């Protein structure tokens, strides 16, 4: 083996090890490549778990259980659902959370009012952020729509600053697409 060949192999192995070690339990050092793989694997798992389950509440319960156990660096993952003009707490994993949020209030209410994903690197800088758990530092909220109407949001919190990047957003938007396609929303939450 000549020197340059050996050095190329060293580079390949070093990269592989480095990439593996980038996944730690805090989620802070996930490499882009591994993060995409993680979302692909997790979303496949969600798709397969939801197969044959058309009940929205049941599907949301298992979706947030998978999100919470598979994604590193979270302290809350769950759903708020539109009910009589406001958001109410739905299935979730994590500590006790506030039960009602007005449209336009907090990160969740802002996601409903604007219809746009809210990716907040530092919740303390977000005007009107509702702190259910003082440990939360960053948050991502994805609106869920049925035929153009927002029926709720997926809300995920992290005790790490700037936990959610574009890759997380794309992966979680795909999670929401899988959920919304899997269930039958025509009969309400628990038909």
* Residues of this chain that bind ligand SME (CB under 6 A): 76, 97-98, 101, 106-109, 129-130, 132, 136, 139, 155, 157
User: Which two three-digit tokens encode residue 167?
Assistant: 């890759």
Give min distance, CB of 161 to ligand SME, in A: 15
Give min distance, CB of 153 to ligand SME, in A: 8
**Pick from 81, 40, 63: nearest CA to 188:** 81
Give min distance, CB of 130 to ligand SME, in A: 4
Nearer to ligand SME, 46 or 101 (CB): 101
Residue nearest to ligand SME (CB): 106
Cβ neighbours around 156 below 10 Å, total: 28
Beta strands in 40-163 (DSSP E): 76-83, 86-94, 100-102, 118-120, 138-146, 149-158
Give min distance, CB of 115 to ligand SME, in A: 15
Nearer to ligand SME, 46 or 74 (CB): 74
Nearer to ligand SME, 59 or 108 (CB): 108
Q: Which residues contact 101 (CB under 8 A, 6 or more apart)?
A: 80, 86, 87, 108, 109, 130
**Residue 170 CA neighbour count, 13 Å, CB half:** 10
Nearer to ligand SME, 140 or 183 (CB): 140
């Amino acid at each position: 083996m000549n020197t340059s060949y050996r050095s190329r192999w060293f580079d390949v192995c070093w990269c592989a090890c480095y990439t593996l070690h980038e996944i730690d339990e805090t989620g802070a050092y996930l490499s882009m490549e591994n993060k995409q793989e993680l979302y692909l694997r997790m979303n496949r798992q969600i798709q397969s778990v939801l197969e044959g389950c058309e009940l929205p509440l049941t599907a949301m319960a298992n979706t947030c259980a998978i999100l919470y156990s598979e994604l590193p660096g979270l302290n809350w993952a769950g759903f708020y659902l539109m009910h009589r003009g406001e958001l109410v707490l739905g299935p979730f994993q994590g500590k006790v959370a506030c039960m009602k949020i007005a449209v336009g209030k907090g990160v969740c209410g802002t996601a409903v009012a604007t219809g746009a994903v809210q990716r907040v690197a530092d919740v303390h800088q977000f005007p009107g952020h509702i702190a259910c758990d003082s440990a939360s530092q960053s948050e991502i909220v994805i609106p869920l729509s049925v035929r153009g109407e927002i029926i709720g949001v997926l809300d995920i919190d992290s005790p790490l600053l700037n936990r959610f990047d574009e890759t997380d957003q794309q992966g979680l938007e795909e999670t929401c697409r899988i959920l919304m396609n899997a269930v039958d929303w025509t009969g309400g939450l628990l038909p």
